[in-house]
Amino acid sequence: MKPFPTQIFKDFTVVAIPTRTNFRGINIREVALFRGDEGWSEFSPFLEYEKEEASTWLRAALEGANTPWPTLYRSEIPINATMPIVGVDQVAGILQGFDGCTTVKMKVNNFEESADVLEEVLSIIPDAKIRLDVNGSWSLGEALLQLHDFNLRFGKVFEYIEQPCSSLNDLALLKKEIPMKIAVDESIRKNLGSDLTDIRDVADIAIIKWAPSGGISAAHKISKEVGLPVVVSSALDTGIGISHSLALAASFERLDYACGLGTVALLQSDICHPGVTAADGFLDVSRREPDMDLLEKYRAGEDRQNWWKNRVTEIFESWGDEK
């Protein structure tokens, strides 16, 4: 393998930050940060991602580091709270990390496990708009039963249901039967490169993400093709990655919904100071830099620095002349 391209990834540093709750099985979040001509950027595909998917994240990271942000239509972005699958006793503590947010996105497995958690959310924020994120895990039959129960008990609190089923066919059938709107996430993210124009017939809202799309300009291409109102969301990024997602959200001329960009609150600490967490329900759009003390505090061991450098070098080499 060729040497790591130090000139392109200046000050490349891997940090390992503990999470506050188990989020998609993760308790420590590893993230690579580096600097380019325009400022700091983040490369943080989850560890199990294969080269192809990680490669898209690297394109986003490089664009973020080296390309000026496009025209921004607003300087602050409305933020939703993000509730992982937790026990009722953890709900209040998690909501505290999302100051002023009145839209709450909840990960759910089923009605039985989540009804009390939702009840607790509504007791803390009585007029909350609720989004359920199913990550495509229900069959059509399950979705009908589950959403019937949610609708019966909670009525009109739902802003939308995110990816209740994975297939577009099931989503189309479900859409005719339920009173809630449907948002798609995996339907877009896992089908990049194929025709996305059918999606608008089966959904109402598109979840668009900065790194999984391959950056701001790629995300605009995708959202144009899908042709639905967007919600910009993230996974578990530090304030550096989030700053680019905020710029993406600000670069849409129309933004009708709160965005899922307050997730730094799910980490034990940001790498920026002050941390990029919502205040009064909003986040400012600006370029962020890591705090050098925090960078040192959460710096991962040498073996992890090398693992990530190899990951980058491998992808970088595979691009050959087209980079």
Tell me, yes or no, if 209 is annotated catalytic: yes
Q: Candidates 3-11, 76-84, 131-139, 175-183 — which segment interacts with Mg ion by CB under 5 A?
A: 131-139
- How many chain residues bind Mg ion (CB under 5 A)? 2
Least distance to Mg ion, CB of residue 196, Å: 16
Tell me whether residue 159 or residue 185 sits nearer to Mg ion (CB atom): 185
Contact 197, 225 (CB under 8 A): yes
Residue 159 is a binding residue for Mg ion (CB under 5 A): no
With 0-12 / 13-18 / 19 or more C-beta atoms within 10 angstroms meaning exposed / middle / buried, residue 66 is middle
Among residues 209, 221, 297, 323, the one annotated as catalytic is 209
Site for Mg ion in 238-277 (CB under 5 A): none
Least distance to Mg ion, CB of residue 183, Å: 8
Q: Which amino acid is at 105?
A: K
Give the chain's length. Answer: 323
Residue 209's SS3 state is strand
Report the candidate in 53, 3, 55, 46 with the shortest Cα–Cα distance to residue 25.
46
Name the residue with the smallest CB distance to Mg ion. 185
Q: Candidates 90-98, 144-152, 181-189, 311-319 — which segment interacts with Mg ion by CB under 5 A?
A: 181-189
Tell me whether residue 107 or residue 311 sits nearer to Mg ion (CB atom): 107
Beta bridge partners of 79: 259
Least distance to Mg ion, CB of residue 290, Å: 27
Least distance to Mg ion, CB of residue 135, Å: 6
Residue 185 is a binding residue for Mg ion (CB under 5 A): yes
Residue 42 is a binding residue for Mg ion (CB under 5 A): no
Tell me, yes or no, if 175 is annotated catalytic: no
Residue 268's SS3 state is coil
Q: Which residues are CB-contacts of 183 (< 8 A; sequence separation ≥ 6)?
A: 131, 160, 161, 162, 163, 203, 204, 205, 206, 207, 231
Per DSSP, helices labelled H in the chain are 51-66, 91-96, 111-124, 140-154, 168-177, 186-189, 210-213, 216-226, 239-250, 292-297, 302-318
Residue 133 is a binding residue for Mg ion (CB under 5 A): yes
Tell me whether residue 131 or residue 311 sits nearer to Mg ion (CB atom): 131
Tell me whether residue 238 or residue 263 sits nearer to Mg ion (CB atom): 263
Least distance to Mg ion, CB of residue 189, Å: 8
Q: Which amino acid is at 321?
A: D
Interacting residue ranges for Mg ion, rule: CB under 5 A: 133, 185
List the catalytic residues.
Answer: 107, 209
